[in-house]
Amino acid sequence: MATRPLRLALFGSGRIGQVHARNLAADPSIELAMIADPFIDGAQALAEATGSRAVQDPEEVFANTTLDGVIIGSPTNTHVDLMTRAAAKGLAVLCEKPIDLDLDTVLACREHLKDADAPIMLGFNRRFDPGFNAVNARVAAGEIGELEQLTIISRDPAPAPRSYLETSGGIFRDMTIHDLDMARFFVPDIVEVTAVGANLFSEDIKELGDYDSVVVTLRGSKGELISITNSRHCSYGYDQRLEAFGPNGMLEARNLTPTAVSKHSAEGTGQLDPIFNFFLERYADAYRLELQAFAEAIRTGASPKPGFADGLAALVLADAALESATNGKTVKVDRIW
């Protein structure tokens, strides 16, 4: 069946749904059969731009027997339901992170999914970033020896609106969770979490009882030390870097700039363009490659990575980080995933 394109449906026509829809439209080997969104106007506009079909009712997706899989880009509180139903139909699933903000809900979901053997992939897009992915592959290939330290710096350009922050689950579950998964991309077995949080600039975030800045230290099962530094704002763009350190060297993934043009003037030397300010631009390649990996997994029948267990693990670590920051104690993590 090499010649039949994959047939996928997309839930959600918002920001992230648009990214996926456009990437699907540019890939001749995949057909975007349907875009489902209760806000039918958005779905319609996106369907028109990408040669797809808009539907309002998710039932139309599940009723369609020609589909190979679904992409869940709808709000977080719909993830578990859509994922469970799609899996029950035997559809492959690519679900945006997080599975859910509540650990018990995720564990219950896992129970439900046990019998379905549908492949489930979690949308931790950063694993597919060419830079981070290359560092990971080179570490795995032994280029720097056994990993000893990993330093992740990750700062958002600006806090989300207060309305979003209220339901975000807090910085650890909403933002740090990406870095926790990145840590697990390098060191899957994390055994200890130590976190410190601060309120340095946002009154909104403070009022919500959340932190705007955190530093998290993880320990892997072989003793590896991982340091994550987060801020909810960053004047110079979307700061996304990491360094992997081992006995034979260090691999560093720096920020990306739109071009390799630099300016030399009386004000300074070698000034590159500002880095990307928006996650969709910064991770454009990552989203495209993530989709390819999902399609490849469907075609080959391989288990997609990162999977459900990775989504669960990241949430466990986020909860542990919150507990540590609250109590001023290192939290040991049971490997429940």
Residues 48-67 that bind its own copies (CB under 8 A): 49-51
Nearest to 182, CA basis, from 321, 310, 94, 19: 310
Smallest separation (angstroms) from its own copies to the CB of 304:
23
Interaction between residue 303 and its own copies (CB under 8 A): no
Per CB under 8 A, does 257 bind its own copies? Answer: yes
Interface with its own copies, residue 46, by CB under 8 A:
no
Is residue 32 within 8 A of residue 50, CB to CB? The reply is yes
Neighbours of 225 (CB within 10 A): 16
Residues 114-173 that bind its own copies (CB under 8 A): 130-131, 134-135, 138, 143-144, 146, 148-149, 151, 153, 155
Instruction: Give residues 18-37 in contact with its own copies (rule: CB under 8 A).
Output: 25-28
DSSP class of residue 307?
B
Q: Which long-range contacts (CB under 8 A, 24 or more apart) does 105-111 make?
A: 105/80, 106/80, 106/311, 106/312, 106/315, 107/312, 109/80, 109/83, 109/84, 110/308, 110/312
Q: Binding marks (x or -) toward its own copies, 201..240, rule CB under 8 A?
A: x-----------xxx-x-x--xxxx-x-x-x-xxxxx-x-
Cβ atoms of 98 and 37 within 8 Å: the answer is: no
Interaction between residue 323 and its own copies (CB under 8 A):
no
User: Residue 38 or residue 258: which is nearer to its own copies going by CB?
Assistant: 258
Give the whole-angstrom CA distance, residue 250 versus residue 99.
33
State the minimum distance, in angstroms, from the CB of residue 286 to its own copies: 12
Span of 64-72, 83-91, 265-273, 312-320 interacting with its own copies by CB under 8 A = 265-273
Whose tokens are 């679900």? That residue is 95
Per CB under 8 A, does 258 bind its own copies?
yes
